[in-house]
Amino acid sequence: MIYNLYKPKNYTSFSIVKQVKKITSEKVGHSGTLDPFADGVLILGIGKSTKKLSEIIEYDKRYRGLIKLGKKTDTKDLTGTVIEKKDIPEIKDIDLDALAKSFIGKHMQKPPMYSAKKINGVRLYKLARKNISIDRNPKEIEIKDLHCSLHDQDMLSIEVKCSSGTYIRVLAEDICSQIGTLGHLVELTRTKVGPFEIKESLTVEKFEEKWKS
């Protein structure tokens, strides 16, 4: 069976998999890691359905996020250390619709060091925590839809539809660079994976009730 679960903030994707394994006593896999600080849709395969995950992992994703302007962190999100600061230009003078449209299409994107991607069998974030940086080959990704709006004086709100494998933290930094400043993600929610929507996501508790009934 394939299930659409909700991953809360400050939980790892693996911790949700672990809880579901405990409930079901079955093999469990997921179709793409969500950063611990993020929340939203996490698709799980249980038992023989784990074979379907390689197909689901390729589905387009939708996200909404908040970008804090003016400060860059080593992790590209709010969990990291601020490593650089830059003044923020007058956002009201910037055409955010035109800015968003400039990102639509295919791009080459390099995975961040603080990510779950494996190179030579090692997760990049494990190297990053030891202050080790290695070469990462860029991968083609596609931004299919992007909306940017001013959330606060120093905060941008974004909504993105993108291909599988897109790092929203990297996109957020690129948006800030285009504006003429720095920035990092402070909130991220995955709202959709292919046809699976957040409004239909089950909490682990609701999943347990459903499984046991």
What's the DSSP call for residue 138?
A: -
Q: How do the residues of the chain divide into helix, strand and coil, expressed in percent and rounded to 5?
A: 30, 35, 35
User: Which residue of the set 35, 135, 154, 174 is catalytic?
Assistant: 35
The residues, any chain, with a CB within 8 Å of residue 173's CB and separated by 6 or more, are 72, 76, 182, 183, 184
Beta bridge partners of 85: 71
What values do phi and psi take at 108, rounded to 5?
Answer: -95, 130
Q: Is 11 helix (H, G, I), strand (E, B) or coil?
A: coil
Relative to beta strand 28-30, strand 139-152 is unpaired
Beta bridge partners of 149: 157
What values do phi and psi take at 141, rounded to 5?
Answer: -125, 165
In sequence order, what DSSP letters do the residues of 50-89 get, joined into one string?
GGGHHHHTTS-EEEEEEEEESEEETTSBTTS-EEEE-PPP
Judge whether 77 counts as a catalytic residue.
Answer: no
Catalytic positions, please? 35
